């Protein structure tokens, strides 16, 4: 029996007994992560285990462990995996895909993908649980690496993980994804999960661990050996998945790379309702694309040179240094695209502030200056109803029922009830502990776009600074966890700033070299395998975001709390004209 198999077996049993999962019931309301609140609230939790669910899951986990420990051989072919027997697991398909023959939902074949074994499975570890898992395993040499991938929004589909899986497969990794057990929900629509509390928990805490244990077992059955290293990559919901793994299942992965992680899930969704209310409860409150462009241009003029920024940058390098009042754009005479009406000014202020109480006390975070640019994934998206509702608002129907109306939602009155019902299932990051992940040598890299309009950037900063308080300062935190703030970058990518620095994001825009110097995915593997921590990453902005047109700009992303400062001489589009430091070098 290999040591890695023994570890996996031991921790599978251990985690099956954890009361935070199956059938746990809240007694004391979980404090929420927001301005002025401490992240470390694990000691305040009061939970009671439901014995039947606990027994069922412990038995299931023990059976899976028994299979893993006694499985003597590997599959002769990919198709043989159809006969693989794992407890609570149904292998739905197993087929070999020829090199260059795979096409995702876009029907475009990926010519550079090697041949691989594609397995799709369904895992049902508890009543009303049905967690989809897909794993791709290279037919040629396997590097011995298992690579887990995150999903997005309410998930519900496996294909969201394909871009990251493609990159993992190119590296010779066995790469997997889960639909988080939420099908037929979709990224924006969680309505199908009304009345399914087990699926809330699968989405919020369990499914990524199930994918990991199941995926590793399938890979072992195929190759006849355990994975020697494991990495996880994901963004948004995928970021939350990665943090949950680090906090609750510290032995699943050696390195975890996450972007824009959802930390306080319930308040993050409440922010979308706040934005829609702010722009739509009263007529004339929405900002047109022309008005958003006006606002964004004014912000850049006022603040691009603030902090470590340059006046010539088309983005803000330090949004927190920007103190901008949209009232300065108020119309003096007739309404036009060159000014903001009083209602539009109020909408902009509400977007910047985020939810506040009736007395004006901050309840959560808002969006930062520099995030206002019009477009389908910016403030335009936040202002516009999705199917007549707020995007992502299905979560509130889980609490209040299908007839819930976003227009009537009162944040002070209703959020305590939302958290009482959902926080134990979906807000695990606010109360989790990365101590065991740190103790076993795990490495964590987080990135966050300053111009994000789906995950509040200051929430990510609050989380990371909270680790500093927990572990005796950021210098000690950097021994195992690093944060990279990305100027001008929107949610998980895109935006006016240098936005290419992570090959695991997938797609056609990849870092120019793919080395640890410009690719976070490669950097975290180097940190785990060679002990070289990333101090900076060169981020790239392609001309028109098209690599074939060449590089428009490169700039270093610095390990927080350092920032990229201009040296005072040299091409501002070249990374070597900047230095990572706490303070500007020329002062």
How is 32-64 classified by DSSP, letter by letter?
Answer: P--TT--S--GGG--EE--HHHHHHHHHHHHHH
Residue 491 appears among annotated catalytic residues = yes
Q: How far apart are CA 57 and CA 205, in angstroms?
A: 14
Give the pairing of strands 89-97 and 116-123. Answer: antiparallel
HSE (side-chain half, CA atoms, 13 Å) at 129: 27
CA distance 318 to 342: 28
Read off the tokens for 561.
């709390």
Is 288 one of the catalytic residues?
Answer: no
- To the nearest 10°, the Cα dihedral for 147, 150, 155, 156? 10
Q: Exactly one of 236, 278, 371, 577 is catalytic; name it.
A: 236
* CB-CB neighbours of 580 under 10 Å: 16
Closest by CA to 312, choosing from 573, 31, 15, 110, is 573
Sign of CA dihedral 408, 410, 415, 420: negative
Cα 296 to Cα 332: distance, rounded to the nearest angstrom: 19
Spatial contact of 96 and 124, defined as CB atoms under 8 Å apart: no
DSSP state of 441: T
Instruction: For residue 184, count CB atoms less than 10 angstroms from its CB and return exposed for 0-12, middle for 13-18, buried for 19 or more.
Output: exposed
Q: Which of 230, 491, 518, 519 is catalytic?
A: 491
Q: Is the peptide bond before 301 cis (omega within 30 degrees of 0)?
A: no
Alpha helices in 151-235 (DSSP H): 162-170, 197-201, 207-223
Question: Which one is catalytic: 252, 452, 518, 519?
Answer: 452
Tell me whether residue 357 is one of the annotated catalytic residues.
no
Q: How far is residue 400's CA from residue 177's CA, in Å, rounded to a whole number?
A: 31
Per-residue HEC secondary structure of 447-468 comes to: EEECCCCCCCHHHHHHHHHHHH
Q: Which helix (H) or strand (E) holds 275?
A: helix 265-280
SS3 state at 285: coil
For residue 547, what are the CA distances in angstroms to 244, 298, 315, 499?
34, 30, 20, 12
Q: Is residue 315 a contact partner of residue 495, using CB atoms and an 8 Å limit?
A: yes
CA-wise closest residue to 7 among 191, 252, 299: 252
Calculate Rg over the CA atoms of the chain: 24
| Short-list 183, 63, 166, CA closest to 122 | 183
Catalytic residue IDs = 236, 452, 491
């Amino acid at each position: 029996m290999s040591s890695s198999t023994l570890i996996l077996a031991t921790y599978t049993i251990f985690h099956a007994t954890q009361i935070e999962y199956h059938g746990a019931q809240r007694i004391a309301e979980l404090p929420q992560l927001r301005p002025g609140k401490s992240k470390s609230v694990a000691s305040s939790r009061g939970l009671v285990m439901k014995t039947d669910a606990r027994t069922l899951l412990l038995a299931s986990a023990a059976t899976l462990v028994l299979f893993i420990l006694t499985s003597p051989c590997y599959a002769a072919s990919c198709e043989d995996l159809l006969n693989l027997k794992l407890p609570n697991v149904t292998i739905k398909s197993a087929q070999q895909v020829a090199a260059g023959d795979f096409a995702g939902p876009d029907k475009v074949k990926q010519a550079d993908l090697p041949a691989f074994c594609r397995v799709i499975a369904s895992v049902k570890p508890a009543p009303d649980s049905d967690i989809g898992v897909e794993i791709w395993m290279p037919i040629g040499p396997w590097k011995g690496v298992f690579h887990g991938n995150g999903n997005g929004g309410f998930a519900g589909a496996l294909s969201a993980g394909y871009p990251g899986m493609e990159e993992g497969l190119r590296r010779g990794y066995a790469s997997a994804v889960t639909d988080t057990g939420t099908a037929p929900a979709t990224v924006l629509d969680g309505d199908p999960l009304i009345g399914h509390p087990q699926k809330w928990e699968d989405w919020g805490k369990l499914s990524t661990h199930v994918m990991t244990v199941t995926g590793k077992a399938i890979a072992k059955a195929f190759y006849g050996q355990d994975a020697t290293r494991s990495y996880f990559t994901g963004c948004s919901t995928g970021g939350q998945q990665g943090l949950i793994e680090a906090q609750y299942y510290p032995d699943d992965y050696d390195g975890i790379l996450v972007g824009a992680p959802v930390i306080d899930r319930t308040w993050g969704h409440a922010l979308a309702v706040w934005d829609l209310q702010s722009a739509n409860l009263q007529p004339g409150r929405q900002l047109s694309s022309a008005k958003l462009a006006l606002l964004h241009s004014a912000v850049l003029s006022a603040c691009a040179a603030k902090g470590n920024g340059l006046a010539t940058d088309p983005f803000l390098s330090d949004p927190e240094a920007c103190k901008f009042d949209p009232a300065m754009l108020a119309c003096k005479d007739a309404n036009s695209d060159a000014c903001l009406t009083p209602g539009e000014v109020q909408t902009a202020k509400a977007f910047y502030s985020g939810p506040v109480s009736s007395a004006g006390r901050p309840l959560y975070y808002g969006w930062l200056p520099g995030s206002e640019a019009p477009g389908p994934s910016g403030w335009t998206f936040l202002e516009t109803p999705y199917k007549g509702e707020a995007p992502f608002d299905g979560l509130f129907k889980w609490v209040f029922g299908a007839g819930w109306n976003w227009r009537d939602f009162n944040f002070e009155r209703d959020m305590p009830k939302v958290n009482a019902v959902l926080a134990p299932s979906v807000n695990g990051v606010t109360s989790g502990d990365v101590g065991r992940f740190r103790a076993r040598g795990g490495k964590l890299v987080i990135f966050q776009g300053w111009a994000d309009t789906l995950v509040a950037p200051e929430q990510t900063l609050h989380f990371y600074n909270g680790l500093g308080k927990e572990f005796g300062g950021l210098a000690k935190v950097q021994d195992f966890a690093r944060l990279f703030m990305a100027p001008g970058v929107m949610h998980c990518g895109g935006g006016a700033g240098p936005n290419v620095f992570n090959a695991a994001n997938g797609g056609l825009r990849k870092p120019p070299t793919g080395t640890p110097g410009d690719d976070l995915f490669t950097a975290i593997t180097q940190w785990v395998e060679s002990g070289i921590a990333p101090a900076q990453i060169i981020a790239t902005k392609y001309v028109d975001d098209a690599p074939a047109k060449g590089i428009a700009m490169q700039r270093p992303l610095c390990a927080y709390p350092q920032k990229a400062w201009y040296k005072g001489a040299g091409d501002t589009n070249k990374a070597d004209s900047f230095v990572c430091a706490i303070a500007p070098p020329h002062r």
